[in-house]
A and B are shown apart, each in its own frame.
Chain A
Amino acid sequence: ILNVEQSPQSLHVQEGDSTNFTCSFPSSNFYALHWYRWETAKSPEALFVMTLNGDEKKKGRISATLNTKEGYSYLYIKGSQPEDSATYLCASPTGNQFYFGTGTSLTVIP
């Protein structure tokens, strides 16, 4: 079992603010890091899959970075919008097993 941690647990930001949160994972035996977004009453959806140290991925206003040597990934949201309100989960797999963090619940206040 991998110990994956996320912080903060919850976050409230004003519309237009930029924000970021953290996922920490064991740096030994690292294979990949997945980010998912889970909106209320919907299915979690994949945002990014990252494997290489220094990797940076971007989708619209959302981007993520990866540091496999120190075992963390940052998720950034630029100019937050109310539709960004969701829980953001990260997960690290070993083989076919995925181990998730507790998630960061983001609320964007209009």
Chain B
Amino acid sequence: DAMVIQNPRYQVTQFGKPVTLSCSQTLNHNVMYWYQQKSSQAPKLLFHYYDKDFNNEADTPDNFQSRRPNTSFCFLDIRSPGLGDAAMYLCATRRGGGVLNEQFFGPGTRLTVL
């Protein structure tokens, strides 16, 4: 049974056209993450939520926004995608409370910007 679901798996958008990626979880984990991974690079943390508390990484561009309307869902909004935003976007969840708790990942959304 899928525990972390990402939709869509593949997304094609045009330069400058806003796009929203979604993530849902059935684990009831209180921490949710968004990562960006470009080819041959490390997954880069964009932001995370601890419950409703939003934590933005200092180097995450303003073009990237996120919403978490409830425990189960989290969205990544890219307001004006550029060619450099083409990447794999990974959502992950984790039960908060300690560094021993592993992350559970979705399969990712591959974003193409034309």
Interface residues, chain A, with chain B CB atoms under 8 Å away: 1, 4, 9, 31-32, 34, 36, 41-46, 49, 51, 89, 91, 93, 95-103
When each residue 35-49 of chain B gets 1 if its CB lies under 8 Å from chain A and 0 otherwise, what string results?
100001111110010
> Once the chains are docked, how many angstroms separate the CA of A34 from the CA of B92?
14
List CB contacts (< 8 Å) of B80-114 with chain A: 90, 92, 94, 96, 99-108
Q: Count B interface residues, CB 8 Å.
A: 29
Interface residues, chain B, with chain A CB atoms under 8 Å away: 4, 31, 33, 35, 40-45, 48, 50, 55, 57, 59, 90, 92, 94, 96, 99-108
> Once the chains are docked, how many angstroms separate the CA of A49 from the CA of B45?
19
> Once the chains are docked, how many angstroms separate the CA of A45 from the CA of B103?
8
Contact at B31–A96, with CB atoms within 8 Å?
Answer: yes
Contact at B105–A45, with CB atoms within 8 Å?
Answer: yes
Cβ-Cβ contact count across A and B, 8 Å cutoff: 61
Contact at A43–B40, with CB atoms within 8 Å?
Answer: no
For B45, the chain A residues whose CB sits under 8 A away are 97-99
For B102, the chain A residues whose CB sits under 8 A away are 34, 46, 49
> Once the chains are docked, how many angstroms separate the CA of A51 from the CA of B102?
12
Distance (whole angstroms) from the CB of B42 to the closest CB of chain A = 4
Contact at A102–B41, with CB atoms within 8 Å?
Answer: yes
Contact at A44–B90, with CB atoms within 8 Å?
Answer: yes
Complex A-B: 19 CB contacts under 8 Å: A1-B57, A4-B42, A41-B107, A43-B4, A43-B107, A43-B108, A44-B105, A46-B102, A46-B103, A46-B104, A49-B100, A49-B101, A91-B103, A93-B99, A96-B48, A97-B45, A97-B48, A98-B33, A100-B35
